[in-house]
A and B are shown apart, each in its own frame.
Chain A
Amino acid sequence: MGTPQNIPGAVPVYEDFARCVHCGLCLNNCPTYRLWHLEGDSPRGRIRQMILVGNGELPLSEGFVGHIDKCLDCRACETACPSGVEYGKLVEHARARIENEYQRPLFTRFARNIVFKRLLPYPSRIAFAARLLRFYQRSGLQSLARATGILKLLGLAEREKLLPRIDDHFFFGELGKTFPAQGTRRARVAFFAGCIANVTFTKLNEATIRILTANGCEVVVPSEQFCCGALAAHAGVRETARQLARKNIAAFAGGQFDAILTNAAGCGSTLKEYDHLFSANEPEHAAAVVFSKNMRDVTEFLATLGLVATLKETRLRVTYQDSCHLLHGQKVREAPRQLLRAIPGIEFVELPYSDICCGSAGVYNVTQTEAALDLLKEKMDYAKATRAATIVTANPGCLLQLRAGAEIHKTGQNVVHVVELLDSALKQQVIP
Chain B
Amino acid sequence: MPASLLRELNSLLGSSNVLHKNEDLVLYEYDGSVEKARPDLVVFPHTTEDVSRIVKLAAKYNVPVVGRGSGTGLSGGALARGGGILIVFARMNRILELDLENARAVVQPGVVNLDITRAVEHAGLYFAPDPSSQKSCTIGGNVAENAGGPHTLAYGVTVNHVTALELVLPDGEIVRVGSKHGDTPGYDLCGLFVGSEGTLALVTEITVKLTRKAEAVKTLLAIFDAVDDASNTVAEITARGITPAACEMVDGWTLCAIEDYIHAGFPRDSAAILLIEVEGLREAVEAQAAAVEDVCRTHHAREVRIAKDDCERDLLWKGRKNAFGALGRLAPSSYVLDGVIPRSKLPQALQQISQIGKKYGFSIGNIFHAGDGNLHPIVLYDPRDPRQFENAIAASHEILSYCVELGGALTGEHGVGMEKNELMPLLFSDADFDLMRRVHDACNPDSSLNPGKIFPLSKGCGEIRVRKQAETLPAHV
* Chain A contacts to B: CB under 8 angstroms: 14-15, 18-29, 37, 39-40, 45, 48-49, 52, 57-59, 61, 63-64, 80-85, 352
Contacts and interface: CB of A to CB of B under 8 A. Distances in A.
Interface class of chain A by DSSP: loop
Contact of B136 (A18, A20, A27, A49): A27
A250 B112 CA distance: 49
Contacts of B329: 19, 83-84
Interface in B18-45: 21-24, 26-28, 30-32, 44
23 contacts: A20-B328, A21-B327, A22-B31, A23-B133, A23-B328, A25-B72, A25-B322, A27-B71, A27-B136, A28-B114, A28-B136, A37-B88, A37-B93, A39-B71, A40-B27, A48-B27, A52-B26, A57-B26, A82-B322, A82-B326, A82-B328, A84-B328, A352-B118
B329 to A, nearest CB: 5
Nearest to B334: A21
A190 to B, nearest CB: 29
Given A21-B328, A37-B110, A28 B23 contact: no
Contacts of A22: 30-32
Nearest to A21: B328
Contact of A23 (B32, B93, B260, B383): B32
A420 B118 CA distance: 32
B118 to A, nearest CB: 8
A63 B21 CA distance: 10
B261 A84 contact: yes
Contacts of A24: 31-32, 70-72, 133, 136-137
Contacts of B327: 21, 83
A40 B24 contact: yes
Contact of A25 (B24, B93, B136, B384): B136
A45 B325 contact: no
B39 to A, nearest CB: 11
Interface string B309-332: 000000000000011111111001
A21 B260 contact: no
A281 B456 CA distance: 55
- B interface bracket (residues with beta carbon within 8 Å of A): 35 or more
B136 A26 contact: yes
A14 B331 CA distance: 11
Contacts of B289: none
Contact of B28 (A18, A20, A39): A39
Contacts of B72: 23-25, 27
Nearest to A26: B136
Contacts of A29: 135-136
A352 B384 CA distance: 42
B91 interface: yes
Contacts of B21: 63
A14 B333 CA distance: 12
A362 B329 CA distance: 30
Contacts of B135: 25, 28-29, 80
Interface string B127-166: 0000001011100000000000000000000000000000
Contacts of A52: 26
Contacts of A48: 26-27, 30
B90 interface: yes
Nearest to B73: A24
Contacts, number: 105
A298 B30 CA distance: 43
Nearest to A39: B27
B452 to A, nearest CB: 20
A83 B332 CA distance: 10
Interface in B48-82: 70-72
Interface in B169-191: none
Given A37-B44, A37-B88, A25 B325 contact: yes
B115 to A, nearest CB: 8
B328 to A, nearest CB: 3
Contacts of A37: 44, 88, 90-91, 93, 110
Contacts of A84: 260-261, 326, 328-329
Which 10 residue pairs are nearest across A and B when measured between Cβ atoms? A83-B328, A82-B325, A82-B322, A18-B332, A37-B90, A24-B72, A21-B328, A39-B27, A82-B326, A83-B325
Contacts of B115: 28
Given A27-B70, A83-B329, A84-B261, A61 B23 contact: yes
Contacts of B136: 24-29
Nearest to A64: B23
A45 B136 CA distance: 14
Contacts of B31: 22, 24
B464 to A, nearest CB: 34
A134 B326 CA distance: 51
Contacts of A80: 135
A202 to B, nearest CB: 39
B365 to A, nearest CB: 13
Given A28-B112, A82-B326, A84-B328, 9 more contacts: A23-B32, A25-B135, A29-B135, A49-B27, A57-B26, A82-B322, A82-B324, A83-B329, A85-B328
Nearest to A20: B328
Contacts of A81: 325
Contact of B24 (A26, A59, A63, A352): A63
Contacts of A27: 70-72, 136
A76 to B, nearest CB: 12
Nearest to A49: B27
A24 B137 CA distance: 8
A212 to B, nearest CB: 29
Contacts of A18: 328, 332-333, 383
B249 to A, nearest CB: 18
Nearest to B91: A37
Nearest to B33: A22
A401 B327 CA distance: 38
Nearest to A28: B136
Contact of A82 (B88, B93, B114, B323): B323
Nearest to A81: B325
A168 B118 CA distance: 45
Nearest to A29: B135
Contacts of A25: 72, 133, 135-136, 322, 325
Nearest to A52: B26
